[in-house]
């Protein structure tokens, strides 16, 4: 299909995908040579070798320390390779933003929207990787596989974000979802993790099935898989086309975890290890909504009044129910999971209004969300007590006294998540609600802001615990420099963009310009 007019410049379209895929391959190869799984060998050696005294013990301990060091270096090496791959993808996307749009393949396209989407997801993924480097040893996930799976998942995500064809979209989403399930299951020792992986997998497969059925129906109604063809031939008066549309959007809503298709998401977040939960709730969720946005813009004609009630109901239900459910959670990861749903609800509301203002607000909100969510998950990840993560709200009690910096950062992320001024979250909410107001949807705007007040209450539970309650006796351990670095970066950016959001506006502006040129609306 994509053969005609294929020049070198068209290969650029494939470059982000190629970059991450190559990165994944090289990581797998490298780990064959160097790493192997982070076995407990050193620990065992130390334990058994503890008997003979004196010199031998010292040497053994030395060897253990050395092995530890080597492993750490390999870990960092692999993480750097992954980062380089992501940077490559992001760089190509960024360069594409500055250059005028050219022709792509028929199947994939690297236009403004795709480039901005890839940038957003790649950025989040980089942060996820550096957040989780030091966690891999303790949860005993093999490094190589971990990084490779993350990168492969991103390859799927990039395909979905660049797709110009329904089958390609499906393939991309499928690759992404599968890699997330495998990642969740990689932590073999933990029962919860397996359960979460299974739940995530089943929900994802079901969603994919529904999505595929929708694509099939659409094909039956219009005879097209490609977005352009669909857009020109889609006829909302055809029942088959409508059914296909409903199934397609149902699939997306399931993947996004919108109410009423939400139940898998909090379970997944609670069960999966924190770094995987962070990966899914940022990279995966953001990719799904961006791919959905792409479908709405490129594959469908303007269906405004037809779809507005659907999106309104999905969005309002998600905001209301997810916030209410988050109120009663005592597990911070699960609570964050519900908040993810509430946020997705707010994003979907922008589909009701449509147009450049709303989609610009969506892009802005996604960037802000990625930073803030990663920060929040990062803090949860960093607070380890006695070898396990501190997940329950009670575990946060009095943290402010022993870990001042972390507590302050967590407070910042929580405030940002609820949209308090001084953080980037405020502007994200401002844009979202502003778009709703501009579109004349007062009721939705009020629901969104009231939802944000409830979110504020929910989010404030964590600082309340940290600052206002007495300390538990359990002392949390030290956190690694990588984690702290990423968290600090997030915090600085959250505040910086909160005071000066102009750079984001610029990115959004470039994306929107092309988005408007490319789309028909």
Partner 1 sequence: MALGSSSLTFLLFLTGAVAAFDPEKMGLQLVEYADWLPGYGVQYFVAIDGINMFLILLATLMVPLVLLASWMHIQRSLRSFVFFLLVFESAVLGVFLSFNVLLFHIFWQVALVSMYFMIGIWGGKERIFRATKFLLHTGIGSVLMGVAILVLFRLNLEASGAPGLDLIAQPGSVAPGLLDLVIPVDSNALTWWRGQTGLFIGFALAFAVTLPIFPLHSWFPDALADAPTAGSALMAALLLQMGAYGLVRFALPLFPDAAMALAPIIQVLALVSIAYAGVCAFFQQDLKRTVAYLAMVQAGFIVLGLFSEQELGLVGGVVGMLSRGLSVAALILLVGMLEERRRTRRIGEFGGLAAPMPVWVVFMGISLMAAVGVPSTSGFVFELLALTATFFSSAWMGIAACLGGFGMAACLYGMYRKVAFGPVTVESNRGLMDIDWRERTLLLALLIPILWIGLYPNPLLRRIEPSVLEVVRHMSERQAPSPDSQAEPRARGTLGLSTLGEGF
Stretch that binds partner 1, among 45-53, 190-198, 449-457, 478-486 (CB under 8 A): 449-457
Question: Whole-angstrom Cα distance, residue 493 to residue 391?
Answer: 25
Minimum CB–partner distance for residue 370 and partner 1 (Å) = 21
Stretch that binds partner 1, among 213-221, 251-259, 387-395, 425-433 (CB under 8 A): 425-433
Stretch that binds partner 1, among 63-71, 239-247, 441-449, 473-481 (CB under 8 A): 441-449
Q: By CB under 8 A, tell whether 171 contacts partner 1.
A: no
Among 445, 462, 486, 512, binds partner 1 (CB under 8 A): 445
2/434 with CB nearer partner 1? 434
Q: Compute the Cα dihedral for 11, 14, 19, 25 and give only its sign.
A: negative
Question: Whole-angstrom Cα distance, residue 435 to residue 199?
Answer: 35
Question: Whole-angstrom Cα distance, residue 281 to residue 229?
Answer: 33
How long is the chain?
521
Stretch that binds partner 1, among 85-93, 104-112, 296-304, 439-447 (CB under 8 A): 439-447
Minimum CB–partner distance for residue 499 and partner 1 (Å) = 9
Closest CA to 288 of 121, 139, 143: 121
84/505 with CB nearer partner 1? 505
Q: By CB under 8 A, tell whether 329 contacts partner 1.
A: no
Phi and psi at residue 316, in whole multiples of 5°? -65, -45
Question: Within 460-499, which residues bind partner 1 (CB under 8 A)?
Answer: 460, 463-464, 467-468
Q: By CB under 8 A, tell whether 219 contacts partner 1.
A: no
Question: Within 361-420, which residues bind partner 1 (CB under 8 A)?
Answer: 401, 415, 420
Minimum CB–partner distance for residue 422 and partner 1 (Å) = 6
Closest CA to 323 of 465, 454, 444, 165: 454
Stretch that binds partner 1, among 13-21, 62-70, 221-229, 454-462 (CB under 8 A): 454-462
Closest CA to 343 of 417, 436, 254: 417
Stretch that binds partner 1, among 11-19, 28-36, 384-392, 427-435 (CB under 8 A): 427-435
52/503 with CB nearer partner 1? 503
306/442 with CB nearer partner 1? 442
Stretch that binds partner 1, among 33-41, 267-275, 346-354, 433-441 (CB under 8 A): 433-441
The 227-246 site mask, x for binding partner 1 (CB under 8 A), equals --------------------
Q: Count CB neighbours of 20 within 10 A.
A: 28
Helix ranges (H only) for 99-190 are 112-132, 135-139, 143-162, 166-185
1/328 with CB nearer partner 1? 328
The DSSP result for 385-434, as a single string, is ETTEE--BGGGGTTHHHH-HHHHHHHHHHHHHHHT-TTSHHHHHHHHHHH
CA angle 33, 35, 38 (to 5 degrees): 155
260/421 with CB nearer partner 1? 421
Question: Whole-angstrom Cα distance, residue 18 to residue 118?
Answer: 13
**3-state DSSP helix/strand/coil percent for the chain, to nearest 5?**
80, 0, 20
CA distances from 475 to 80, 396, 483 (A): 32, 11, 18
Q: By CB under 8 A, tell whether 518 contacts partner 1.
A: no
441/483 with CB nearer partner 1? 441
257/501 with CB nearer partner 1? 501
User: DSSP 3-state assignment of 108?
Assistant: strand
C-alpha R_g of the chain: 23
Q: By CB under 8 A, tell whether 308 contacts partner 1.
A: no
Q: By CB under 8 A, tell whether 510 contacts partner 1.
A: no
CA angle 156, 162, 165 (to 5 degrees): 95
Is the CB of residue 131 less than 8 Å from the CB of residue 278? Answer: yes
306/453 with CB nearer partner 1? 453
Minimum CB–partner distance for residue 429 and partner 1 (Å) = 8
Question: Whole-angstrom Cα distance, residue 370 to residue 493?
Answer: 11
Stretch that binds partner 1, among 92-100, 155-163, 383-391, 440-448 (CB under 8 A): 440-448
Minimum CB–partner distance for residue 419 and partner 1 (Å) = 8
Is the CB of residue 112 less than 8 Å from the CB of residue 104? Answer: no
Q: Which residues bind partner 1 (CB under 8 A)?
A: 401, 415, 420-422, 426-427, 430, 433-434, 437-438, 440, 442, 445-446, 449-450, 452-453, 456-457, 460, 463-464, 467-468, 500-502, 505
């Amino acid at each position: 299909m994509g053969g005609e007019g294929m020049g070198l410049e068209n290969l650029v379209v494939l470059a982000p995908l190629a970059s991450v895929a190559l990165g994944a391959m090289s990581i797998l190869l490298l780990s064959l040579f160097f790493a192997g799984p982070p076995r407990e060998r050193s620990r065992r050696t130390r334990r058994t070798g503890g008997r003979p005294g004196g010199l031998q013990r010292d040497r053994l301990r030395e060897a253990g320390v050395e092995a530890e060091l080597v492993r750490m270096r390999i870990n960092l090496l692999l993480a750097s390779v992954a980062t380089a791959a992501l940077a490559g993808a992001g760089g190509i996307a960024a360069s594409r933003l500055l250059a005028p749009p050219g022709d792509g393949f028929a199947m994939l396209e690297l236009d403004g929207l795709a480039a901005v989407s890839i940038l957003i997801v790649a950025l989040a993924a980089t942060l996820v990787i550096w957040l989780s480097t030091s966690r891999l040893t303790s949860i005993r996930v093999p490094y190589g596989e971990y990084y490779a799976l993350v990168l492969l998942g991103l390859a799927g995500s990039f395909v979905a974000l660049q797709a110009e064809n329904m089958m390609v979209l499906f393939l991309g989403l499928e690759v992404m979802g599968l890699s997330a399930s495998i990642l969740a299951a990689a932590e073999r020792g933990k029962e919860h993790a397996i359960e979460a992986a299974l739940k995530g997998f089943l929900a994802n497969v079901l969603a994919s099935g529904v999505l595929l059925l929708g694509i099939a129906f659409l094909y039956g109604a219009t005879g097209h898989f490609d977005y352009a063809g669909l857009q020109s031939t889609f006829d909302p008066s055809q029942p088959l086309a409508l059914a296909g549309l409903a199934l397609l959007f149902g699939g997306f809503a399931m993947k996004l975890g919108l109410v009423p298709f939400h139940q898998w998401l909090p379970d997944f977040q609670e069960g999966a290890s924190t770094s995987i939960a962070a990966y899914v709730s940022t990279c995966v969720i953001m990719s799904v909504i961006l791919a959905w946005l792409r479908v709405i813009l490129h594959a469908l004609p303007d269906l405004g009044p037809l779809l507005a009630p659907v999106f309104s109901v999905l969005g309002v239900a998600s905001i209301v129910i997810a916030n209410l459910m988050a109120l009663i959670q005592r597990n911070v990861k699960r609570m964050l999971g519900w908040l993810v749903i509430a946020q997705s609800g707010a994003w979907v509301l922008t589909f009701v209004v449509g147009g450049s203002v709303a989609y610009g607000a969506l892009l802005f909100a996604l960037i802000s969300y990625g930073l803030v969510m990663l920060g929040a998950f990062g803090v949860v990840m960093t607070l380890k007590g006695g070898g396990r993560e501190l997940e329950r709200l009670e575990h946060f009690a009095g943290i402010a006294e022993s870990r001042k910096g972390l507590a302050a950062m967590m407070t910042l992320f929580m405030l940002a998540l609820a949209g308090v001024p001084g953080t980037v979250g405020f502007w994200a909410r401002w844009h979202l609600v502003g778009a709703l107001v501009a579109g004349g949807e007062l009721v939705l705007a009020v629901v969104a802001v009231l939802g944000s007040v409830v979110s504020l209450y929910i989010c404030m539970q964590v600082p309340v615990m940290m600052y206002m309650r007495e300390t538990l006796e359990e002392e949390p351990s030290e956190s690694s420099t990588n984690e702290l670095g990423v968290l600090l970066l997030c915090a600085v950016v959250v505040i910086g963009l909160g005071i000066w959001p102009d750079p984001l506006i610029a990115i959004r502006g470039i994306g929107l310009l092309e988005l408007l040129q490319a789309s028909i609306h």
